[in-house]
Amino acid sequence: MKTLILGAAALALSAGLAIAQDKTIRMGTEGAYPPYNFINDAGEVDGFERELGDELCKRAELTCEWVKNDWDSIIPNLVSGNYDTIMAGMSITAERDEVIDFTQNYYPPTDSAYVAAADGVDVSSAIVAAQTATIQAGYIAESGATLVEFATPEETVAAVRNGEADAVFADRDYLVPLVEESNGELMFVGDPVPLGGGVGMGLRESDGELRDKFDAVISDMKADGTLNTMLKKWFGEDTTTY
């Protein structure tokens, strides 16, 4: 009898807790796209989006938890309900917006850029490497250059180093640290191309309430300048800010 009462009490307690703290928000990310998100030496999700996401959750008074998912299936798993948000350096595009909802952007529209191993590559007719199924790959396919697609961003840069491709086309922020540390082997060529509508947090279309919550705290962080500080911390002093 005693155990029964204890059990009932525990049940009541946990039910009360569940109402009080609401549910855990699961944040989906890729973990392979520094500085947006990556796995640090300790094996945890780290990066601009980790820091931003944690701060957003704190301000919105939500319990959040980070989950890694493969890029290819990151949207199907969101709509299927395996996690509740995507913060994975995902550019806001019209195609994606048809299937999921985005908050306002927390990173201004990004430049994509070409990097080559030699100066004077004509990017409009060269062989250009890009990651399969990215907006960059779509852009190159239309640009008239010869597109060669690799499964991971790592391989696209490797292709330029070993001469398979003349240039790689990717997010400028992904390329900057690589160019800096290549000792002059790699360099930016051509003009940067603005692609996409900035990076936003992706949510299910049926999750309007949660979206409004995050939207409000992003506005908050934009207004008090904390977002700009974070952007400068992760992307360097001369990055575009709000």
Binding site for other proteins (CB under 8 A): 18, 23-24, 26, 31-32, 34-35, 38-44, 46-47, 65, 67-70, 72-73, 75-77, 79-82, 84, 95-96, 99-100, 129, 132-133, 138, 141-142, 146-152, 154-155, 157-159, 161-164, 177-178, 180-181, 204-206
At its nearest, how many Å lie between other proteins and the CB of residue 72?
6
Distance CA 181, CA 199 (A): 26
Which region, left, alpha or beta, applies to residue 43 given φ > 0 means left and ψ of -120 to 50 means alpha?
Answer: left
Question: Given the complex with other proteins, which of 97 and 220 has the nearer CB atom?
Answer: 97
At its nearest, how many Å lie between other proteins and the CB of residue 220?
25
Question: Given the complex with other proteins, which of 222 and 239 has the nearer CB atom?
Answer: 239
At its nearest, how many Å lie between other proteins and the CB of residue 162?
5
Question: Given the complex with other proteins, which of 5 and 17 has the nearer CB atom?
Answer: 17
At its nearest, how many Å lie between other proteins and the CB of residue 6?
21
